[in-house]
């Protein structure tokens, strides 16, 4: 729940202006082990989720893409393959350490061409109106303090005919999956974080932040409220993850 002065940080209520600092601390802590932890947490399935999200974006050669909360650059790499030499991808993140890690890894892969980097807050994007053919935010919207403001900002920088793609952990569609997922999230995941990333609390926060994220239908409505049209979502892995897509008409 978000009020005028407070918002949630996991299951805790904190001051609105404090959340950005707390989230920054989480990702500063896990940046170097982020990719390894993603593989361990999802048994590698996150790579499939990301490829499906990119396919649903319908990004084509020559287009311009904004990869928000792009972190270590997995989606930027996939978008780079699609837009080709005539297109451009902007890897953006609010966290300097994550952005630095992503930039270094993309350069190491020889993918410096046609990729720009920007440290930005999704709630107030510093780009002109109608700039991008696609704006994607993967596993990042749940960490944004004002999600409605972020969706409006994404809509503003999107070209007419462009797409917003939100790939995010969501809510299981059946009770059995929900119970198994809850046990894993609150009993196993923090222990993996402790042993691999040396940070149990950050991964406990990640589990809590997923539970506080809007359910699929609610997020779809939020996207429509931001001005996006033809909004729809696609559940994956029994709703543990969902891809939401909306268009600027």
More confident residue, 185 or 161: 161
Contacts by 217-225 with C-beta closer than 8 Å and gap 24+? 219/141, 219/166, 219/168, 219/170, 219/244, 220/244, 222/147, 222/148, 222/151, 223/151, 223/164, 223/166, 225/148, 225/151
Q: Is 131 a known ligand-binding residue? A: no
**4: pLDDT strictly greater than 70:** no
Q: Is 138 a known ligand-binding residue? A: no
Q: Is 72 a known ligand-binding residue? A: yes
Q: Is 122 a known ligand-binding residue? A: yes
Cα 35 to Cα 104: distance, rounded to the nearest angstrom: 14
Cα 235 off chain centre by: 16
Q: pLDDT tens digit string along 55-85?
A: 999 999 999 999 999 988 999 999 999 999 9
Q: pLDDT tens digit string along 120-150?
A: 999 999 999 999 999 999 999 998 999 999 9
Which domains does the chain show, CATH number per domain? 6-173+204-247 (3.40.50.150)
Q: What is the DSSP letter of 197?
A: I
What integer best gives the mean pLDDT of the chain? 89
Listing from the earlier edge strand, what are the strands of the sheet with 132-138? 115-119, 88-93, 64-68, 132-138, 158-169, 241-247, 229-236
**31: pLDDT strictly greater than 60:** no
């Amino acid at each position: 729940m978000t009020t005028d002065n407070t918002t949630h940080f996991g299951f805790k209520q904190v001051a609105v202006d404090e959340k950005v600092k707390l989230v920054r601390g989480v990702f500063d802590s896990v940046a170097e082990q982020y990719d390894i932890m993603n593989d361990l947490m999802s048994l590698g399935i996150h790579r499939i989720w990301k490829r499906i999200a990119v396919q649903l974006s319908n990004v084509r050669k020559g287009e311009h893409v904004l990869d928000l909360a792009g972190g270590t650059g997995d989606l930027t790499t996939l978008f780079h393959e699609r837009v080709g030499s005539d297109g451009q991808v902007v890897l953006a993140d609010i966290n300097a350490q994550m952005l630095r890690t992503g930039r270094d890894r993309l350069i190491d892969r020889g993918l410096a061409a046609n990729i720009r980097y920007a440290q930005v807050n999704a709630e107030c994007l510093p780009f002109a109106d109608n700039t991008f053919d696609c704006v994607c935010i993967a596993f990042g919207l749940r960490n944004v303090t004002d999600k409605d403001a972020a969706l409006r900002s994404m809509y503003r920088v999107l070209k007419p005919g462009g797409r917003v793609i939100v790939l995010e952990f969501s809510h299981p569609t059946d009770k059995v999956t929900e119970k198994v997922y809850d046990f894993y999230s609150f009993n196993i995941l923090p222990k993996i974080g402790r042993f691999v990333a040396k940070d149990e609390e950050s991964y406990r926060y990640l589990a809590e932040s997923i539970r506080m994220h809007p359910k699929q239908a609610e997020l779809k409505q939020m996207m429509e409220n931001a001005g996006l049209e033809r909004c729809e979502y696609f559940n994956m892995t029994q709703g543990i993850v969902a891809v939401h897509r909306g268009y600027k008409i």
